[in-house]
Amino acid sequence: MSYPYQIKSIEQYHEDYKKSIEDPEGFWSKIAENFQWRKKWDTVLNWNFTEPKVEWFAGAKLNITENCIDRHLPSMANKPAIIWEPNNPEERTRTVTYARLHKRVCQFAQVLKNNGVKKGDRVCIYMGMVPELAYAVLGCARIGAIHSVIFGGFSAQSIADRLDDASVEYIITCDGAFRGGKDIPLKSIIDDALIGNKTVKRVIVYTRTRIPVSMIKGRDVWWEDEMLHAEDQLEHNGVIDFPAEIMDAEDPLFISYTSGRTGKPKGVVHSSAGYMLWTNYTFVNVFQYKPGDVFFCTADIGWITGHSYIVYGPLSAGGTSLMFEGIPTWPDAGRFWDIIDKYKVNILYTAPTAIRSLMSYGLDPLKGKDLSSLRVLGTVGEPINEEAWHWYDEHIGKKKCPIVDTWWQTETGGILISNLAGITPAKPGWATLPMPGVQPVLVDEQGAPSISPEGEALTKGNLCISLPWPGMLRTTWGDHERCRTNYFATYENLYFTGDGALKNEEGFYRITGRVDDVLNVSGHRIGTAEVENAINMHAGVVESAVVGYPHDVKGQGIYAYVIMSQKHGDDEQSKKDILQTVTRVIGAIAKPDKIQFVTGLPKTRSGKIMRRILRKIAEGEMQNLGDTTTLLDPGVVEEIKKGKL
């Protein structure tokens, strides 16, 4: 499979970028010709950011699974679509070809139909990282049901809230899941979430861990039984097929929940055609994907990263996507490197949190691991600090692999700002240039364009986007006004990302963190990510998290939670060294007022640090910390509370 729209030079990037901004309809129309449509579009783009209303390829008809599977079958039926590495390295691995993927997705689409699922119904998927999770996602898309994948670490209450918000009628889950040394009782958690639920009609349960589960007559059915029945129904002269539901370009494809400022999760809705185009285009260009490459995204499909860069992006491009059930440090900290060696992985896409965690184990886990197959490295989820970037570059990429530092959000559907591997320049700690079609704007608090102070090369401001791009969110489920107020009401005619950024003379962007994570110390605005980056540059620091707390003199003080690589016994000296490092990197104004040494930070299982919890502890609020059951290690919160300064 070739990609006529793959950018091959810096000159082509600038040329394509110019076209995409000056004539977005012409630019994206040409790229859309490379996909399979049941009916072509009437108009390429209708939009206004006031309502807001965004439509791409209005009037077009398609099904995303035909683009992810069916169109590849004539030439790539026996090519690996998904390679699955189980949690236990001793367990048998699975390679799912495009032909096998087609069969299983068609079977599961029939299972859904047999159980009463129709186009537009919401289906909650709460599973471990097994190939069946991909079958479930694509099976929903094939019949036009709206999938909502919930990460397999959320609590029953969190699931219940999401079920209620989307009026979910169908659930797909596993008996349990393996994750590192833990067995997670998924079905049991679903049972708890369903106490008092009045909408869910059916729960389909896949067998993974063989943990005992309760199966309620009339509601719960086994995946395996349903799949066998579906196979009997569909098989015709040795061929299994399930005709894909014809979808409108703007029909919702899935709902992805993301935390909001109110604490109530927002159900971000993505549509079919624009999302498909965007995930494919960014996948092919950012990673410079070549047919036959093994692409390893270490995320969970429960998060947007997994949707876009394990399932839809790679598969729509006819790629090979490696799916991993476990965690990077089990059974030891060499697991990622074992996997890269075993499958000759060409592209690794992971989180800075994972990189920093693996750094703390030193270089021993890398010994004897052949990483020579790697061609491209990527980071996602948060800005990567320079020390981690250089470690990744030197020890994993052997200084031969370009690192793409990708910035995007659940709401954007795919990557918005990133260098293109080996094509556009990289700069440690900088996301660099916007993708074609993305027009960033930096504004001040009043919405006026930010201007760099006289004599300074850097412009600083709140990051907004002034033009729609195909992959952007369309609404928040059941509450369009929340979508408007969250993203489009802050600044007129702009999508507000909620992030702050710097822009240099080259037009490169550096994300400084959430604007609501910006500290105001003695009237000076300081980004928490900026302070963390400085602290993390200290040789003994593994990771840090910075929050503000009330300060009698400064208004807001800086409270730093710091994980050290090893104890030297002299905490006071270590604190002085860290303060000196911050002073050297940023200036004395950014020195933390308090440094608390901790052994861990409260993180979600996707690796996101829950600064909300840390902020409350720093402020002395020890009781109402919210739901901590979704954290990777809830016990770390108690330890931090006890050690509060």
Q: 428 in a domain, yes or no? A: no
Residue 507 region by backbone torsions, left for phi larger than 0, else alpha for psi between -120 and 50, else beta: left
Residue entry with tokens 């703390």: 360
Residue 514: strand, helix, or coil = strand
Q: Are residues 230 and 84 in the same domain?
A: yes
Q: Rounded to whole angstroms, how far apart are CA atoms 248 and 254?
A: 14
pLDDT in tens, 304-360: 999 999 999 999 999 999 999 999 999 999 999 999 999 999 999 999 888 988 998
User: If pLDDT is split at 50, 70 and 90, which confidence band does 220 have?
Assistant: very high
pLDDT of residue 45 exceeding 60, the answer is yes
Through-space distance between the first and last CA atoms of the chain, rounded to whole angstroms: 59
Cβ 152 vs Cβ 183: under 8 Å: no
Kindly state the average pLDDT of the residues 41-45.
98
Pairing, β 509-514 against β 518-521: unpaired
Kindly state the average pLDDT of the residues 58-74.
98
CA-closest candidate to residue 471, choices 284, 288, 269, 311: 269
pLDDT score recorded for residue 518:
63
Q: 482 in a domain, yes or no? A: no
Q: 435 in a domain, yes or no? A: no
**Angle at CA 208, nearest 5°, toward 202 and 214?**
45
Q: Rounded to whole angstroms, how far apart are CA atoms 600 and 430?
A: 26
Last residue in a domain, options 381, 400, 419: 400
pLDDT of residue 520 exceeding 90, the answer is no
Question: What domain range is 148 assigned to?
Answer: 15-400
pLDDT in tens, 386-436: 999 999 999 999 999 999 999 999 999 999 999 999 999 999 999 999 999
pLDDT score recorded for residue 524:
52
Name the strands in the sheet holding 80-85, side by side, starting at the edge strand that comes first in the sequence: 94-97, 80-85, 320-324, 294-297, 347-350, 376-379, 403-405
Residues 6+ apart with CB under 8 A from 228: none
CA-closest candidate to residue 162, choices 295, 49, 268: 268
Q: 417 in a domain, yes or no? A: no
pLDDT score recorded for residue 259:
61
Q: Rounded to whole angstroms, how far apart are CA atoms 618 and 592?
A: 12
Residues 6+ apart with CB under 8 A from 182: none
Of 5-9, 297-301, 500-504, 525-529, where does mean pLDDT reach its minimum? 525-529
Cβ 502 vs Cβ 190: under 8 Å: no
**Angle at CA 319, nearest 5°, toward 316 and 323?**
100
Task: Specify the DSSP class assigned to residue 489.
Answer: S
pLDDT score recorded for residue 493:
95
Burial class (CB in 10 A: 0-12, 13-18, 19+), 298: buried
Instruction: Dig out the tokens for 471 from the structure.
Output: 């992959």
Last residue in a domain, options 400, 419, 452: 400
Kindly state the average pLDDT of the residues 433-458.
89
Whole-number percent of the chain with pLDDT over 90: 75
Instruction: Dig out the tokens for 154 from the structure.
Output: 């959320």
Pairing, β 518-521 against β 202-206: unpaired
CA-closest candidate to residue 287, choices 225, 337, 349: 349
Instruction: Dig out the tokens for 538 from the structure.
Output: 């200290």
Of the two residues 586 and 222, the one the predictor is more confident about is 222
Pairing, β 594-597 against β 555-564: parallel
Residue 560: CATH number of its domain:
3.30.300.30
Q: Rounded to whole angstroms, how far apart are CA atoms 608 and 524?
A: 26
Which helix H or strand E contains 205, and what residues bound it? Answer: strand 202-206
Q: 143 in a domain, yes or no? A: yes
Model pTM score: 0.84
Whole-number percent of the chain with pLDDT over 70: 96
Residue 380: CATH number of its domain:
3.40.50.12780
Say which amino acid occupies 30: K
Q: 466 in a domain, yes or no? A: no
pLDDT in tens, 161-219: 889 999 999 999 999 999 999 999 999 999 999 999 999 999 999 999 999 999 999 99
Burial class (CB in 10 A: 0-12, 13-18, 19+), 470: buried
Cβ 133 vs Cβ 261: under 8 Å: no
Number of domains in the chain: 2
Residue 402: cis peptide before it, omega within 30 degrees of 0:
no
What mean pLDDT value characterizes the chain? Answer: 92
Say which amino acid occupies 165: D
pLDDT of residue 559 exceeding 80, the answer is yes
Question: How many other CB atoms are found less than 10 A from the CB of residue 249?
Answer: 24
Q: 447 in a domain, yes or no? A: no
Per residue, what are the HEC states of 571-614?
Answer: HHHHHHHHHHHHHHHCCHHHCCCEEEECCCCCEECCCCECHHHH
Residue entry with tokens 């930010």: 450
Kindly state the average pLDDT of the residues 33-55.
97
Q: Rounded to whole angstroms, how far apart are CA atoms 287 and 415?
A: 11
Say which amino acid occupies 137: V
Q: Rounded to whole angstroms, how far apart are CA atoms 403 and 426?
A: 7
| Phi, psi dihedral angles at 294 (to 5 degrees) | -95, 120
Kindly state the average pLDDT of the residues 376-381.
94
pLDDT in tens, 249-264: 999 999 998 864 444 6
Q: 311 in a domain, yes or no? A: yes
Instruction: Dig out the tokens for 380 from the structure.
Output: 């996602």
Say which amino acid occupies 32: A
Last residue in a domain, options 400, 429, 462: 400
Of the two residues 610 and 480, the one the predictor is more confident about is 480
